[in-house]
Each structure stands twice: as C-alpha cells, then as structure tokens.
Amino acid sequence: MPIYRETVIEVDLDKIAYNMEQIRAMVGKDVKIAAVVKANGYGHGAVGIAPAIMEHGGDLLCVATLTEAIELKEAYPRYPVLIMGLTPTEYFPAVLDYNILQTIDTLAQAKALAALARERGATAGIHIKYDTGFHRIGFPDAPKSYTAIEEISRMEGLKIEGIFSHLVLLDDESNRQQYEAFSRAVRTLKERGVALPCCHLADSIASVDYPRYRMDMIRAGAIIYGLKGFHKGSLDVRQALTFKTKINHITEIKAGEGVSYDFVWRSDRDTRIGTLPFGYADGYPRNLRGKAMVTVRGKQVPVVGVLCMDQCMIDLGDVPKAQIGDEVIIYGDGTGNTLDIQAVSVLAETNKNDIVARLTARPPRIYRKDGKIAEIRTMIGRKSI
C-alpha cells in the first residue's frame, strides 16, 4: 500500500510488548493493568498498538471519550474498554450498543443509564469516579456520596465493576491524604454492602513511585510508550515512537538573507537551507522556533525561521553532503545523536505526554514487529504486511 507521505511515525511494537512485560513484572500477577490508550494511544495509534498491549499483560483498555471507545470496539469487539471521562446521557445508547464500561459520577447519570439498560434487558458495566481532591470530576468525598453510590449499587440494569480516583501528585503528604481518603471511602462502601470488585488510584507515575497505591489495578499510560515521568522508583521502559521525514528541497542562500515568515531568522553565513515536509499541522510544537534540532546524517542541525503549518526549514551549513531524499529524525530515542521525546519536551517547555498527544492523524503510522514492517495505517486505509 502506498504511503503517499515522506513524514511518518514509526512505532516499535516489540518495545510496546517489552514495556508491558516490565509493567506486569513490576505489579505482579494479582494487580490488573488498565492500559491507557486515550489521545489515539498517546499519538502512537490506539487501534494499531492495542493487540500488543492485550497480548502482553493488559487487562483493560482505557480512553477518555465515547468516540475513542467506539473506534476500539469496532476493531476489537471482545476487548474490555473503559471510558474514564463522562459521556452525555443522550449518547448512552451507543455505550450499550458497544458494551462499553462507562464512568459515572452522579446519581442522575446512573439512573439514566440504568433505565435505558432495563428497557433493553441489558446490564451496563460502570466504574464510579470518586473525587479525593483533584476536583475535576467525581463524587465528592462526603457522606452523601456514600448514600448515592449505595443506591446505584442496588439499581437493576447496572453493575459496578470498579471505583477509582486520581492523585494530584503534588507531594508525598498530599498523595497520602488522597490515598487514605479513597481507602476510607472504599472501606465504608464495602461495610454498607456495596460490591467494589476493582479499586484503582495509581497512574503511571504513582504505580512506579508508590507501590502501596497500586491497589487492585493500575492505570498505565506513559510507561507503556517508554515515557518516564517517575522520580522515586525505577522501571526499564523503552521509547517506542520515532517521528521522521525526508529533505524534499534545498535552497542556497547568502549571509544576511532570511528564511520563512517575517524573516525573524537571518543567516550569518552563506549556507544551504533544507525544506522538510512537516509542520505544526502534524503536531510539532510551533513554540520550538529558535530551539528545535533535528538529526541529518547523524548530526543535529537547527530548525530555522518560523515553523509553518506544513513545512519547516533547517540549516544544512554543517552537513555539506546532505541532499534531497536524506532521512531526517525529528523525534528519535536518543541514540544516533537524536533528540528523544523527553529532550523535545524540555525545549518546548511542556511534558512528554503533550508532545506525543499532539501528533495528528496526518503522518502515516508504520508498525514494526520483529524488525520488520507489520502494518501500515494511513488516513485513507491500512494494510497488514
């Protein structure tokens, strides 16, 4: 299948598998792994990476929105998928149609979903979101919530399959307070006869740094992709993504001549400018102007001028043999004099998740397994090799 673009994202499925096996070894056989594949699998392509995740220790796939869940369910109907965000009640029919696990954080939502499920003679699986201080979504940490959740547990048409909260990750003390608040809520609910098969609190960072908080299940996100955000613990995970393109034009300019909009960059020497067919519409941070480096023939060269929507320019003055068609590594894994995603995030003054989540659907995803291309997914189709 033709790719039709020189700018591509390569995903090493062997590294995804390796990372999953490392996570499984870390948490042991008794703790479930919910694999977070929202934001198109952190830019890696959720549908493309899902089999590697589920075949190497994943118990559950987690997304943020209904459309993300439907995409996965249409590809893999048997995979359990949890929507961690809230779904408007008018879309609950689709939740039932696809047998998706839905997060609930109000009594009204629960009643609406239960009524619809009863009409269909079905049972909807839900996870309760409990707010221990993040103050984003969730039942408030208060006695009235115990009463509401107890009522939900008795509703025909619903089955509580889990309850979860999210750490702020400010410091050890606030984490401890949230953990204790969540544990107290779980304990109280169980004493009231509420069945809570799966209690989960820890994300990637907490699951590595705070083993005590793993509970029944962890929600592994960044660590699946080899992105390290933890500080106290350690886990050997490997970056799975490479973002690359090719030089498609070279221009010779004189000292003093400018490049791109407003000539905010002018060359201080005679040089050659290489044009690359990618830009911020592919998810590259526009604020990297004046800071970004890419790798050509093993040498880091600067991105110059204002980054365009679909193209950017690099100074090839220090790579005199560079030519049209040469491969350019935008994000590497740090080897071969490339910038890994951590390094790029520092330059862009953001975090690693932001860098990969920005990656749009335009660049084709090329999936490699056992050193070979296993699958290609583009905006116009897919092909397994």
Q: Looking at the annotation, which residues are catalytic?
A: 38, 261
Classify strands 365-369 and 8-12 as parallel, antiparallel or unpaired. Answer: parallel
Which residue type, as a one-letter code, is found at position 63?
Answer: V
CB 359 within 8 A of CB 283: yes
- Closest listed residue to residue 39, CA positions, set 241, 290, 262: 241
Classify strands 265-266 and 258-259 as parallel, antiparallel or unpaired. Answer: antiparallel
What's the start-to-end Cα distance of the chain, in Å?
9
User: And the tokens for 335?
Assistant: 């080897």
- Closest listed residue to residue 279, CA positions, set 306, 311, 301, 249: 311
User: And the tokens for 151?
Assistant: 């009522």
- Closest listed residue to residue 329, CA positions, set 306, 301, 363, 369: 301
CB 199 within 8 A of CB 149: no
Dihedral class, residue 367 (left if φ above 0, else alpha if ψ from -120 to 50, else beta) = beta
CB 52 within 8 A of CB 240: no
Question: What gap in Å lies between CA 38 and CA 353, rounded to an integer?
Answer: 11
Task: Please classify residue 269 by burial: count the beta carbons closer than 10 Å to its beta carbon, then call 0-12 exposed, 13-18 middle and 19+ buried.
Answer: exposed
Distance of CA 100 to CAs 60, 73, 93, 161, 384, Å?
A: 11, 8, 10, 12, 27
CB 140 within 8 A of CB 104: no
Task: Please classify residue 95 by burial: count the beta carbons closer than 10 Å to its beta carbon, then call 0-12 exposed, 13-18 middle and 19+ buried.
Answer: buried
CB atoms within 10 A of CB 119: 11
CB 295 within 8 A of CB 329: yes
